[in-house]
Amino acid sequence: MQEAGGSKHSIASAMLLMACASSMFPVSDVIAKYLVRDYHPLQVTWARYLFQFVILAIALGGPRIFQRFATRQLKLQLLRGILTVLATILFITALKTTPVVDGITLLFTSPLFVVALSVPFLGERVGFHRWAAVLVGFTGVVLVLRPGEGIIQWGAFLALGSAACVGVFHIVTRILSRTDHPITTLLYMALTGFLILSAAVPFFWTEPTLEAWVLFALAGLISGFAHYGVITAIRWAPLSAVAPFTYAQIMSATMMGYLVFGDIPGEWTIAGLAIIIGSGLYVLHRERRIASKAAAQ
């Protein structure tokens, strides 16, 4: 296993993987936004976890799935699962009234939680340049958000609550990555979410159509691959280094918003995207310089 803080190649690969994996989440979110028009957010969330678990079970080949449940940190695995459920429910509920791009933009406050918490909980050294890159990236998020245009509503506060859960969720993921395989962590997330929501979903059940079942499965598949990529990226590199690359979601969200809902990015959105991308590239540049100096010593 490649530990965090390893070679320059591993850190650069982790950043790229985080960007690619993060870009997949808006695709699943767009499907969820489409589904919550006819189905309760709890049912949509439940179905996502159900199909994540089913697809994992099939991929692992039946009996082998039980071997993957071996963990040294059961309590943390369960805590991570609960945090995922809370974050997902809050965000999908927010999407009922909040555009996908705006919801994901608010979700981007989570790197601020990550960088702050990675110091006391993970013992990672976060220098001025990483702090600056994250804060500059958040400035770009604010530009995309365009405060004052009427999107700050109750859905926005739900998205912010989801961001706080995501921040703690990433911290727990980083701790688990030191001992548990990404598949193990993904299995616990899917199973915990499915079991918790199975107790509540009968009270909000609407019989799905065939189209809805297909979309449920597709959302679970895409979300599962995205989570696996995020877990692996966090395993390869310091969390505070890869966290800014979750900003890649905004590009995917903007594209999906245009293709599915006809939302055309305005000037502020384009300016914000430029700042967000620039902050991520600056972090990559700094990591390469640090790795080069360490190798030369």
What is the pLDDT, as a whole number, of residue 63?
Answer: 67
pLDDT digits (tens, 9 = 90+) for 39-70: 999 999 999 999 988 887 777 766 667 778 88
Angle at 186 between CA 49 and CA 106, to 5 degrees: 70
What the block records as the tokens of 18 is 């985080």
How distant, in Å, are the alpha carbons of 60, 129, 185, 273 from that of 178?
Answer: 22, 26, 11, 33
What length is written for the chain?
297
* Closest CA relative to residue 221, chosen from 26, 40, 56: 56
How distant, in Å, are the alpha carbons of 240, 279, 283, 288 from that of 129?
Answer: 11, 10, 8, 13
* Closest CA relative to residue 105, chosen from 261, 278, 241, 252: 252
> What residue type is 273 in one-letter code?
L
Distance between CA atoms of 258 and 27, rounded to whole angstroms? 12
pTM for the model stands at 0.72
What the block records as the tokens of 271 is 């300016």
pLDDT digits (tens, 9 = 90+) for 89-143: 998 888 887 777 777 777 777 766 777 777 777 676 777 777 787 788 778 777 7
pLDDT digits (tens, 9 = 90+) for 12-36: 888 888 889 988 988 998 898 889 8
How distant, in Å, are the alpha carbons of 12, 25, 64, 184, 207 from that of 56?
Answer: 28, 18, 11, 10, 25
Distance between CA atoms of 33 and 231, rounded to whole angstroms? 25
The owner of tokens 């980083």 is 174
Distance between CA atoms of 199 and 150, rounded to whole angstroms? 36
